[in-house]
Structure 1
């Protein structure tokens, strides 16, 4: 049975960020979310470039069968029904969240992606590779953009199944018969800890380094996406989102909101839930429902307000992409991107060695062989040369360390200075014996006045893009403190005239003043001095708790 998709999408900045670094694209046959990163290095540009390339797939010819090249054998010469093509390798996803009283796991069956088995996967993978090349072009044209990157989670729908590609920590979910299934697998360091059994998924949700990614599109090679084919049924709902949603709202609530009958209302409530959860990141949501029959064409819309036309979201709709020339072969080698100047069979060390490597590999092979095997004079002053090389290495290392330290002076985060919220210059994590941060501004905001969730965030250090973003974060924290403000307790003199002990939030008593209970990770030893969190283990606080 042929299906079509109803699609609703929305992208918002959130409550803390200055601009939207998310981008998205949604149509009945192409769904994509890209979450840019890089702060001052233009994460919004990276995501806009990626969507700008991938959306060009969305043409009437996208689902047409690929035609063989003139020098390729015709399709008729291939056996009609080879066993290896008819037999699909099937795998089961394990991240399944039952709703209500349902307890039996009923995983949806996925057909493992293989480019030769589904040509749409090949087209999507090629487009993602092209997007990576265009990001590299931007960096080559403006080296201040070095460090920008983006996630990409997207799919092509052919009327029966999704050809899904994924890189980064944006997510794709499938809701079928009341069961939510995560179709993508986060390429993050915290997820690798979960995979190794070192932490639980619940602990991962509050880990201070949950934003550290292992794979993104950043103009560098060897960032291949995961590829999977997902058969759909009538009534299925598919969600693509940035971590502004999945990082703020747990899977059970996401499943319940995806099931809201009206698609527009479902998307609105998903975004509102992420904002209520803190709204500390950009939020992009693309929700689609599989409906039996071909797509209607009247008026470009269907019931529930779902559109049948394309939607461009976030930075991709707002950010102007500067013109950047395509790199030459030499520049490709210099950036570590395989090109004509580098042999793909070279070992990885040489492939990323830089301009000198590219120049060497561009030498004519015959000339290179002659010089390689030509007689050479015996080496002289070998000891002196070794000493000079050693000194050069030390100088380069010292220069690198100096540049690295200077870079930390351009970074800011919000943390705790004794009992007060403060803006720090540098990095929250230090090196044993060496602090990489210093207090920049102490705020008139006690850490103890914050809700427990935000106390934990401040103590672990809230990384921001720049000084303006740090001040905006402080203003948000002040609003949260005001929301949870309580009248102070007045100590009553006892029989001896001394003040009574005041109960602390963790249930113990103190002599004069309360000590806040902080639920969350402890501050590393090299971080600025901060209040000592309670040792009490309990369910992690939510942003709404006071």
Structure 2
């Protein structure tokens, strides 16, 4: 039995964000959700790049099907009524029926992997042309359907679900730090929902090498329902609630209730949802319209020159299609004067960066309290009661930077003129440089803790994050090595503080 997709889709900014950095795409053969990240560093552009590559690949499939139809017509293939040649297809850009896709599941996976690789390469080129885009990235959940089998490519923490016979199954596995802790049995699902590092992604499409997606295939059957969504939905709504809302008989009603539930949970992120039903295909079925959602429907992607390779391949070596590494500062050709440059982001656009903060900033009440306590302490010092005030201050601890390492401080992160109200209590071996850049910034701004034990737990978590980042950067460095040594011009030396090819991006990932 041949099946077809019938889908509804929606993308919105949510209740808190100022712009929509999500993108989506739905056609009779492809379903895709991409959640851009990076805030001021153009997460919307990154997700739009991914969807642009999807559109190009889908158009090539339609053109190939159109060519096959024309060839069959030229060979005198009978028409649908058996009376003569079938009429030529007028336009190659019309959506093709799912049954006309002749690729086998492994070939569909190759198509999806190629889409992800080209999107990653294009992001690297944009960052090389405009360094202000450094740190942008996107998740990708991409499905391709041939009438029987579904191919799926996944990278990041957007999710794909299958609802079959009333049972909801997650088809993807989050590439996040918190998910790795769940896998190791170190935290529960309930703890994960409130973990301070729940938005740290271990894999994301950001122009760096070695960002291969998870690939899988699934046999579909009549009555199946698919859900693709960004974490503006699945990051706020539990799976059991998702399953009950998705089970509504009318997909449009299910979509509306899922959006309402995301709003009820705060609507703190962009929300993108695609729901697709698997129906029996008929000859007279009307194909659904192609839909382009979110940032991909509004942004123009700048044209840039391809990134030059770091080292030439040997003459007998074939290009393996690997994404080029982002060049070091000063390497490669500078962007031309005609290359569009993204304007400086407004403060509102930087709200996305809060998604990757180590923890939420202190509440207004706590800031007021800390200021009041500092004032009281000053008065006590001036009034001769310094001993008691300092004794209270010694019960307070926070995490901060001690030169290039992490340290636990005793006291308050304030001073009275030349008098510091704190002292270094413990210096830890974890280096700031081994953390993602946004984590480094949080440590330098200091992290409030409730006690010495709490401060040590925070340091332990930071150490685990740094170890994971070190491992990933070492893997990237190994993959950046050329296939074999070849003579090449010696590059100009760069200052010691130039970023290394494995430097962490600014989006909170490693």
Q: Same fold (TM over 0.5)?
A: yes
Structure 2 residue 264 is the aligned partner of structure 1 residue 276: yes
Cα 1:319–1:274 shift into 2, 3 Å:
same
Q: Which SS does the other structure have where 1:147 is aligned?
A: coil
Contact 1:342 1:358 in 2 (8 A): no
Alpha carbons 1:153, 1:172 under 8 Å: kept: yes
State the partner residue of 1:221. 209
Cα deviation, 1:45-75, whole Å, max 9, x if unaligned, reads 100111111122223735969x9xxxxxxxx
Q: SS state of the match for residue 362, structure 2?
A: strand
- The answer as to whether partners of 1:416 and 1:530 remain within 8 angstroms in 2 is no
1:527 match:
447
Deviations 1:90-126 (A, max 9, x none): xxxxxxxxxxxxxxxxxxxxxxxxx996201101101
Output aligned runs, 1:349-428, within 5 Å: 415-416=361-362, 419-420=365-366
Give structure 2 stretches of 5+ with no counterpart: 68-102, 319-323, 333-352, 371-397, 415-436, 453-510
**Which position in structure 1 is the counterpart of 2:321?**
none
Instruction: Spell out, residue by residue over 1:221-254, the C-alpha distance to the aligned partner (whole angstroms, 9 max, x if none).
Output: 1100011001111000000000110011111110
Instruction: List alignment gaps of at least 5 residues for structure 1.
Output: 68-114, 301-307, 334-338, 346-350, 360-406, 440-462, 465-522, 533-546
**Pairwise mapping of residues 30-429 of structure 1 onto structure 2 (< 5 A)?**
30-59=30-59, 61=61, 118-294=106-282, 296-298=284-286, 308-330=288-310, 340=313, 415-416=361-362, 419-420=365-366
CA drift of 1:272 comes to: 1.0
Residues in 1 aligned to 2:399 and 2:297: alpha-carbon distance in whole angstroms: 34
Write out aligned runs for 1:380-529 (5 A): 415-416=361-362, 419-420=365-366, 431-433=406-408, 526-528=446-448
Q: Does the C-alpha gap of structure 1 residues 226 and 295 become closer, same or farther in structure 2, counting only changes over 3 Å?
A: farther
Shift of 1:419: 3.4
Q: CA deviation at 1:438?
A: 7.7
Equivalent in the alignment of 1:19: 19
Q: Deviations over 1:184-207 (max 9, x none)?
A: 010101101011111112211221
Shift of the 132–201 alpha-carbon distance from structure 1 to 2, 3 Å rule, reads same
Partners of 1:270 and 1:29 in 2: how far apart? 24
How many residue pairs were aligned? 334
Paired residue for 1:395? none
- 2:113, 2:358 → 1: CA distance? 36
Q: Distance in 1 between matches of 2:45 and 2:226?
A: 27
RMSD, aligned α-carbons: 4.2
Q: Is the 8 A contact 2:144 2:151 kept in 1?
A: yes
Distance 1:288 1:524 in 2: 46
